[in-house]
Amino acid sequence: MSQDKNDTTESGAREGLLSALSALGLAIDMANGSPETTALRGTWVAVVAAEELGLSSQERAEAVLGALFRYLGCTSYAHEEARSLGDEHVAARVLAPLDKLDRGPIAKAVLQDLPGDAFERAMRAAKLMAEGAAFTAGYERSHCEGAMLLASRLGAGPGVLSVLAALHERWDGEGGPAKLSGSAIPVAARVVHLAREATVHFLLRGEEPGVVRCLERRAKGQLDPEMCRALASSPRFLGAFREGPLWENVQGAIDRALDAGCERGPTKGAVLERGCVYIAELQ
């Protein structure tokens, strides 16, 4: 009887944690000014990508949890973005779908879309171009640290934390904060990065052919070229951008990831206990 009661309590705690994490994803979208369901959709796209690429169960678990925490930590640089851009939502709406190394499109975007009159926009754009490397490095470091802090509070294992530490690393080595390149980047981190770029591109542009073009352009530079080639021709991956029910799909994926991740991370009970404490602190 006692065991049944414990199982029921753990099941209820897990269901509450899954719902809270999913709800936090929606809250982060609103805080960022991102299209609704960006966090959940990006997480689900990472799940499908990991499955289509044949990753191991452990790597799939790291990809789904890494994708979720990637979005939950992305407001960590909002103050600096607001100070530099005049509106932190500009980054989510305008700069998010651009490659940070494409200075021309970035300059055009900020001149057209930053708040203020023409002179103010020109001054902000010039400042951003002059401080672009430092601004990007600060964002990359802050985002990774914020996501890792949140994940560690919830008891994530070292595999998930290594994914979050490499969120902004690029295949060509021009990312950060550690300047990793190629296969030195954890495979789950490469999946999360690809899923994020594809998801943002789809949600802001609204078409699957645009996702394929994005993967083709970013291959070898920003993203793993073999992953790009495989997923650009995968009907299931391209269908993930519209697949539903999204809330239930993501919660199921997180649930499976917690099961698969228990071998190398904390126990299932520890994850639930820390998660419930953290959610209570947010209320």
For 120-175, write each residue's pLDDT tens digit.
Answer: 878 877 777 777 788 788 888 888 998 999 888 888 889 999 999 999 999 999 99
Using only C-alpha atoms, the chain has a radius of gyration, in whole angstroms, of 19
Residue with tokens 């049944």: 4
What is the pLDDT, as a whole number, of residue 10?
Answer: 56
- For residue 34, the model assigns a pLDDT of 80
pLDDT of res. 235: 96
Q: Which of 44, 43, 47, 26 is nearest to 35 (CA)?
A: 26
For every residue of 41-79, which 3-state class applies, written as one string?
HHHHHHHHHHHHCCCCHHHHHHHHHHHHHHHHCCCCCHH
Q: Alpha-carbon distance 77 to 67, whole Å?
A: 18
Environment class of 46 (CB within 10 Å of its CB; exposed 0-12, middle 13-18, buried 19+) = buried
Half-sphere exposure of 241 (CA within 13 A, CB side): 24
State the amino acid at position 163 in one-letter form.
Answer: V
Structure tokens of 247?
A: 């809330």
Q: Provide the 3-class DSSP secondary structure of residue 207.
A: coil
Segments in the chain below pLDDT 50: 5, 262-283
Most distant CA pair in the chain: distance in Å?
72
What pLDDT score was predicted for residue 265? 43
219 three-state secondary structure? strand
For 216-226, write each residue's pLDDT tens digit. Answer: 999 989 999 99
3: enclosing H helix or E strand: helix 2-32
Instruction: Report which secondary-structure segment, H or E, holds 249.
Output: helix 246-261
pTM of the complete model: 0.82
